[in-house]
Structure 1
Amino acid sequence: MSGAGTPGPAAVAGRGLVLAGLTVGHRSERAFGRGSGVAVLPGVDAVAGRGELTVLLGPNGAGKSTLLRTLAGLQPALGGTALLDGDDLLSLRGTARARRVGVVLTDRPDPGLLTGRDVVELGRLPHTGAAGVLGEGDHTAVDDAIGAVRAGPLAGRPLGRLSDGERQRMMVARALAQQPSLLLLDEPSAFLDVAARVALLGLLRRLAREQDLCVLLSTHDLELALRLADAVWLLDGAGGCCSGTPAALSASGAIGAAFDSDELVFDPAQGTFDLRPTS
Structure 2
Amino acid sequence: MVSRDAPAAATGTATPAGTGLVLSGLAVGHRTEGTLRRGRASTVLPAVDAVAGRGELTVLLGTNGAGKSTLLRTLAGLQPALGGSARLDGDDLLGLRAGARARRVGVVLTDRPDPGLLTGRDVVELGRLPHTGAAGVLGPDDDAAVDTAIDAVRAGPLAGRPLGRLSDGERQRLMVARALAQQPSLLLLDEPSAFLDVAARVALLGLLRRLAREQDLCVLLSTHDLELALRLADRAWLLDGAGSLLTGTPGELATSGAIGAAFDTDELVFEPDRGVFALRTRD
Q: TM-score, normalised by structure 1?
A: 0.96
> Deviation at 1:31?
4.3
SS of the counterpart of 2:203? Answer: helix
* Deviation of 1:8 (Å): 4.5
Would you say the 8 A contact 1:123–1:178 is kept in 2?
Answer: yes
The 8 Å contact of residues 50 and 214 in structure 1, kept in 2 or not, is answered as: yes
Moved more, 194-203 or 92-101: 92-101
- In the other structure, the counterpart of 1:115 is 119
Q: Distance in 2 between matches of 1:100 and 1:234?
A: 25
Is 1:4–1:47's contact at 8 Å kept on the other side of the alignment?
no
Q: Work out whether 1:275 is the aligned partner of 2:243.
A: no
Query: Post-superposition, which runs of at least 4 consecutive aligned residues in structure 1 deviate over 4 A?
Result: none
- Structure 2 residue 102 is the aligned partner of structure 1 residue 88: no
In structure 1, what is the equivalent of residue 8 of structure 2? none
What is the CA–CA distance in structure 1 between the aligned matches of 2:103 and 2:38, rounded to whole Å? 30
In structure 2, the partner of 1:21 is 25
* Alignment-derived partner of residue 54 in structure 2: 50
Corresponding letter in the other structure for 1:216: L
Counterpart of 1:68 in 2: which secondary structure? Answer: helix
1:177-211 deviation per Cα after TM superposition (whole angstroms, max 9, x unaligned): 00000000000000000000000000000000000
Identical amino acids, percent of aligned pairs: 81
Distance 1:159 1:2 in 2: 44
Asked whether the equivalents of residues 208 and 215 of structure 1 are also in contact (C-alpha less than 8 Å), the reply is yes
Q: Tell me the CA shift for residue 223 of structure 1.
A: 0.2
Q: Match for residue 147 of structure 1?
A: 151
Partner secondary structure for residue 91 of structure 1: coil
Q: Does 1:242 align with 2:246?
A: yes
- Residue type of the partner of 2:142? D
**Could you report, residue by residue, the CA deviation over 1:25-76 in whole angstroms, capped at 9, with x for unpaired residues?**
11122444xxx51111110110000000000000011000000000000001
Gaps of 5+ in 1: none
CA contact (8 A) 2:20 2:89 kept: yes
User: Which is worse superposed, 46-55 or 88-97?
Assistant: 88-97
Q: 1:134: which partner in 2?
A: 138
Task: Report the residue type matching 2:165 in the other structure.
Answer: R
Task: Tell me how large the CA RMSD over aligned residues is.
Answer: 1.1
Which of the residues 70, 76, 91 maps onto 1:72? 76
Aligned counterpart, 1:204: 208
CA contact (8 A) 1:25 1:77 kept: yes
* Number of residue pairs the alignment of both structures matches: 275
Amino acid across the alignment from 2:263: F
Q: Does structure 2 conserve the Cα–Cα contact (< 8 Å) formed by 1:24 and 1:78?
A: yes
The answer for the alignment partner of 1:164 in structure 2 is 168
Provide the secondary structure at the position in 2 that maps to 1:232.
strand
Q: Measure the CA separation in 2 of the matches of 1:166 and 1:109.
A: 12
- 3-state secondary structure, aligned to 1:179: coil
Counterpart secondary structure, 1:99: helix
Map of 1:184 onto structure 2:
188
Query: How far 1:147 sits from its partner (Å)?
Result: 0.1
| Counterpart contact for 2:267–2:279, Cα < 8 Å | yes
User: Which residue identity lines up with residue 173 of structure 2 in the other structure?
Assistant: R
Q: Deviations over 1:201-247 (max 9, x none)?
A: 00000000000000000000000000000000000011111100000
User: Residue type matched to 1:127 in 2?
Assistant: H
Q: Which whole-Å CA distance do the structure 1 matches of 2:269 and 2:97 have between them?
A: 44
CA offset digits 1:103-144 (Å, max 9, x no partner): 000001212000000000000000000000000000000000
TM-score under structure 2 length normalisation: 0.95
